[in-house]
């Protein structure tokens, strides 16, 4: 089975007060992108039952691969179910530590793949619970559809309003900087607010900055001028709305015309390091 775990961007990312469990409460609209890793999962008779053989290609994955969410997803299911020997091949395209949710997508899609390959017949609700055990962003990728995400990321609600994405183009730019979650939260001052997320659907993208923002953005721009430079470059190239996604360092611009978006992508790619992707 071959799956394509997608990147996501956060449209707004509001960090509210701390919860009783020590996590910060978050609010954000998550949007999946057509920019993906590639994950293949197969039964493998040469691997002992309950064990996993892994192959990693594409971008280098730093750190101990035993801590990779693909491996953790297998470990989580192997502890609860009798699994055959499996092999997994992850071809990494999405940059890491970039706020795109690539690792979370990989882990959640591994849950989905094992569920199908091994005929576990896990329900969506069961997959959501397992994904929440993997990480805060993971439950979104069970469906990978536009959603309002709250709590620490475990509450994923399909949008209750029609969001006009069909007429918009998103240009995504990554400056090649890894920002850890701990670094992103350092110096952040959360504050509660009430956001009318549905109002975004009836407003032009140029007005979104009056209503939403990414609370991690100011700190990231201060520590990493490249992030601020990319935001400015996309704005100068004609984006109606620009924002950093997640805890950084990837930024994106929302464009209302395809030609302008493609020109902006070419200009930014020619002048800044890091991979780029455009999505209609």
For the segment 42-65, what is each residue's pLDDT rounded down to a tens digit?
A: 999 999 999 999 999 999 998 888
Q: Which of 8, 72, 92, 215 is catalytic?
A: 8
Q: Please say if 18 is a catalytic residue.
A: no
For residues 246 and 98, give the distance between their C-alpha atoms in angstroms, rounded to a whole number.
Answer: 8
Ramachandran sector of residue 93 (left: φ over 0; alpha: ψ -120 to 50; beta: rest): alpha
For residues 130 and 154, give the distance between their C-alpha atoms in angstroms, rounded to a whole number.
Answer: 10
Percent of the chain with pLDDT over 70: 96
Q: DSSP for 192-257? A: -----GGGGGGS-GGGGGGT--BTTHHHHHHH-HHHHHHHHHHHHTT-SEEEE-TTSS-EEEEES-
Q: Of 190, 177, 180, 153, which is closest to residue 63 (Cα–Cα)?
A: 180
In this prediction, residue 273 carries a pLDDT of 54
Residue 143 and residue 204 in one domain? no
Both structure tokens of 41: 């999962």
pLDDT reading at 277 higher than 50: no
Q: Please say if 92 is a catalytic residue.
A: no
Residues 6+ apart with CB under 8 A from 219: 184, 186, 187, 188
In this prediction, residue 35 carries a pLDDT of 92
- pLDDT tens, residue by residue, 11-36: 999 999 877 877 789 999 999 998 99
| Mean pLDDT to the nearest integer, 105-126 | 98
Q: Count of domains in the chain?
A: 2
For residues 224 and 69, give the distance between their C-alpha atoms in angstroms, rounded to a whole number.
Answer: 27
**Model confidence at 276, in pLDDT bands (50, 70, 90)?**
low
For residues 22 and 180, give the distance between their C-alpha atoms in angstroms, rounded to a whole number.
Answer: 18
| Domain region containing 9 | 2-158
For residues 22 and 229, give the distance between their C-alpha atoms in angstroms, rounded to a whole number.
Answer: 34
pLDDT reading at 87 higher than 80: yes
Residue 181 and residue 62 in one domain? no
In this prediction, residue 185 carries a pLDDT of 80
For residues 150 and 25, give the distance between their C-alpha atoms in angstroms, rounded to a whole number.
Answer: 7
Residue 176 and residue 97 in one domain? no
Residue 173 and residue 154 in one domain? no
pLDDT reading at 109 higher than 70: yes
Q: What is the CATH number of the domain that holds 220?
A: 3.30.70.890
pLDDT reading at 279 higher than 90: no
In this prediction, residue 63 carries a pLDDT of 84
| Mean pLDDT to the nearest integer, 104-125 | 98
Residues 6+ apart with CB under 8 A from 184: 216, 219, 220, 247, 248
CB-based contact 113:131 (threshold 8 Å): no
| Mean pLDDT to the nearest integer, 89-107 | 94
Residue 208 and residue 148 in one domain? no
For residues 174 and 230, give the distance between their C-alpha atoms in angstroms, rounded to a whole number.
Answer: 8
Chain centre to alpha carbon of residue 92: 14
CB-based contact 151:196 (threshold 8 Å): no
For residues 135 and 278, give the distance between their C-alpha atoms in angstroms, rounded to a whole number.
Answer: 27
What is the pTM assigned to this prediction? Answer: 0.92
In this prediction, residue 280 carries a pLDDT of 44
In this prediction, residue 259 carries a pLDDT of 95
Q: Which of 37, 72, 92, 137 is catalytic?
A: 137
Is residue 259, in this structure, part of any structural domain at all? yes
| Mean pLDDT to the nearest integer, 70-75 | 98
Residue 55 and residue 151 in one domain? yes
Is residue 163, in this structure, part of any structural domain at all? no
Residue 141 and residue 238 in one domain? no
Tokens 């709250």, located at residue: 150
Is residue 164, in this structure, part of any structural domain at all? no
- pLDDT tens, residue by residue, 207-237: 999 999 999 999 999 999 999 999 999 999 9
**Model confidence at 110, in pLDDT bands (50, 70, 90)?**
very high
- pLDDT tens, residue by residue, 154-196: 899 999 888 878 789 999 998 888 887 778 887 687 888 899 9
Is residue 133, in this structure, part of any structural domain at all? yes
């Amino acid at each position: 089975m071959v799956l394509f775990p997608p990147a996501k961007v956060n449209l707004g990312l509001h960090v509210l007060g701390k919860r009783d469990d020590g996590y910060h409460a978050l609010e954000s609209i998550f949007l999946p992108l057509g920019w993906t890793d590639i994950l293949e999962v197969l039964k493998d008779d040469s691997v002992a039952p309950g064990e996993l053989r892994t192959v990693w290609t594409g971008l280098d994955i730093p750190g101990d691969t035993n801590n990779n969410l693909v491996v953790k997803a297998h470990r989580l299911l192997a502890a609860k179910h009798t699994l055959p020997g499996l092999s997994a091949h992850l071809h990494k395209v999405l940059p890491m530590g970039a706020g795109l949710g690539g690792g979370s997508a990989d882990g959640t899609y591994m849950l989905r793949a094992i569920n199908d390959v091994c005929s576990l017949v896990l329900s969506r609700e069961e997959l959501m619970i397992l994904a929440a055990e993997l990480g805060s962003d993971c439950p979104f990728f069970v469906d990978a559809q536009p959603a309002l995400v709250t709590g620490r990321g475990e509450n994923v609600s399909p949008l209750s309003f029609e969001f006009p994405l069909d007429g918009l183009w998103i240009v995504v730019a990554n400056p090649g900087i890894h920002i850890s979650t701990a670094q992103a939260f350092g110096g952040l001052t959360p504050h509660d607010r009430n956001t009318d997320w549905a109002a975004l659907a009836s407003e032009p993208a140029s007005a979104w900055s009056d209503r939403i923002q990414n609370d991690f953005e100011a700190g990231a721009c201060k520590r990493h001028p490249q992030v601020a430079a990319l935001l400015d470059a996309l704005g100068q190239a004609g984006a109606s709305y620009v924002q950093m996604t997640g805890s950084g360092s990837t930024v994106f611009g929302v464009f209302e015309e395809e030609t302008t978006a493609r020109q902006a992508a070419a200009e930014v790619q020619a002048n800044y390091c890091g991979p780029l992707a455009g999505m209609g």
